[in-house]
Amino acid sequence: MKNIQKIGVSLVLVIAVSVLGSAQVVYKRMGVKGAGQNFATAINNSGQVVINTGTATSSNVSLWNWSSGFSDLGLANIGANGLAVNNSGLVVGAGTPSGSLNQEGFVYQSNSGLQWLGSLGSGMSMANSVNNSGTAVGLSYTADFFQHAFLWTQGGGMQDITPDVISVGGVTAMGINSSNQVVGYYFPNGATDTVGFSWTQSGGRQDIGPAGTLALAVNDAGTIVGSSPNANGFRHAFIWTPTKGMKDLGTLGGSQSTALSVNSKGWVVGTSMTSTGNGLLHGFLWTPTGGMKDLVTVAGLGKALQPVSVQINDFGVIAVSTNNSVTTLIPIMDLTVASSVNPSKVGKPVTFTATMSSFAGAPPNGDIVTFQSGSQILGTATLTNGVAQLTTTALTVGTRTIVVKFPGDPNYLPAKSPALTQIVTN
């Protein structure tokens, strides 16, 4: 059990924007104090963000959540860099084992500790992604010093999934889903540019996109994202599905963009140049209904901040690592309460209905809200599809102020409804 240090967070900015067709406040920007910059980051469906910190002489990995703060993984002595995390908090990345000169992939979980993954013969490897079964993928050099992609399991160890590639640039596996579908990019033998790929145990390797394509992430539906050259040779973010193939997501007005992460809703985040022509990157959020939106606009990220890594979980929470900070963007939950009858009679039942929603949808089923009349707790109720009801006969005669409070969950911040004035008569 790791010592969890609670830390302060800064609620930096709330911005009213039009994301999915109507103006609304959609994100709170929460800076992570004490996090390093210029590092890759990752986020899981428990709202845990992989935080890499480092100095000139050491580096370390932590998991961070808005409610619990930092949990130090205790990896400072191996120069670790965490690159991905699954929903149970298992972190993968790379570090340097004691007595070794080579960087090696690892998996780490609090109940089982650190485990090195080995290599394909050279002693060097790096784990880039992990699924919820604990299967990791990444890159490793072979004994002949060819860079190959690997798939690692607890029971089977490290498997070379691209043994036929002997190009100078080699292969890099970047993502894996729950079906053990692996995506990445490679240099075909004799080629000087990359091609994206998708790999499965039964089907082997399938090329994705033309020369210059990078496949960088995949969701459980088999939707792949990355970057690929357009007709003019500029790399654009893409989304690829098994039924529709590749779709160019465009840019924020500049010449180039890259998609870095995709969630179960098919929402995509990444980076893009803008129309200003200053060469600076902005983060973006792309949705099937709203298209590509600038995170400067929808979340108040500073224009000078250069996003290094942008990742999104299935609840719409975005983790951004920039040139000077790590920031989480948390969808705001709107909470309202309504009465079944108003005015009501004392001693007669009244049903209050709480409704929670956001542009990312409702909070998970099973979350709890509390109904209050002033300081009096009327009771609690469980949310289902964003709705919870409480029936009470406890209201006394007079004008009562009814509010509903949501305590927050691992992904969403606390919320409170506007007050409802309930009149109770004899």
Per-residue pLDDT of the chain (426 residues; tens, 9 = 90+): 333 333 333 333 333 333 444 334 589 999 887 676 667 789 999 999 999 987 666 688 999 999 999 999 999 899 999 999 999 999 999 999 998 999 999 999 999 999 999 999 999 999 999 999 999 999 999 999 999 999 999 999 999 999 999 999 999 999 999 999 999 999 999 999 999 999 999 999 999 999 999 999 999 999 999 999 999 999 999 999 999 999 999 999 999 999 999 999 999 999 999 998 888 999 999 999 999 999 988 888 888 888 999 999 999 999 999 888 899 999 999 999 999 999 999 999 999 999 999 999 999 999 999 999 999 999 999 999 999 999 999 999 999 999 999 999 999 999 999 999 999 999
52 burial (CB, 10 Å; 0-12 / 13-18 / 19+) is: buried
pTM of the model: 0.92
Average pLDDT of the chain?
91
Amino acid at 325: S
Say how far apart CA 318 and CA 266 lie, in whole Å.
Answer: 14
- pLDDT for the residue numbered 305: 85
pLDDT of residue 325: 84
Show the domains of the chain with their CATH numbers.
Answer: 4-331 (2.130.10.10), 334-425 (2.60.40.10)
Token pair 């920007």 is at which residue? 29
Q: Helix, strand, or coil here: 299?
A: helix
What was the pLDDT predicted at 109?
A: 94
Measure CA 63 to chain center.
13
The C-alpha atoms of residue 425 and residue 67 are separated, in whole angstroms, by: 42
| Burial (CB count within 10 angstroms: exposed 0-12, middle 13-18, buried 19+), residue 327 | buried
What is the Cα–Cα distance from 171 to 161, expressed in whole angstroms?
Answer: 10
CA torsion sign for 95, 101, 102, 107 is negative
Contact 176, 150 (CB under 8 A): no
Helix (H, G, I), strand (E, B), or coil: what is residue 76? helix
Q: Which residue has the tokens 């690892």?
A: 106
Residues near 192 by beta carbon (within 8 Å), at least 6 away in sequence: none
CA distance 329 to 44: 14
Amino acid at 144: D
Q: Which residues contact 259 (CB under 8 A, 6 or more apart)?
A: 216, 217, 225, 226, 227, 237, 238, 239, 249, 268, 269, 270, 286
DSSP 426: -
Residue 106 half-sphere exposure toward CB, CA atoms < 13 A: 24
3-state secondary structure of 226: strand
Closest of 131, 213, 238 to residue 179, by C-alpha: 131
Label each residue of 110-169 as H, E or C: CCCEEEECCCEEEEEEEEEEECCCCCEEEEEEECCCCEEEEEEECCCEEEECCCCCCCCC
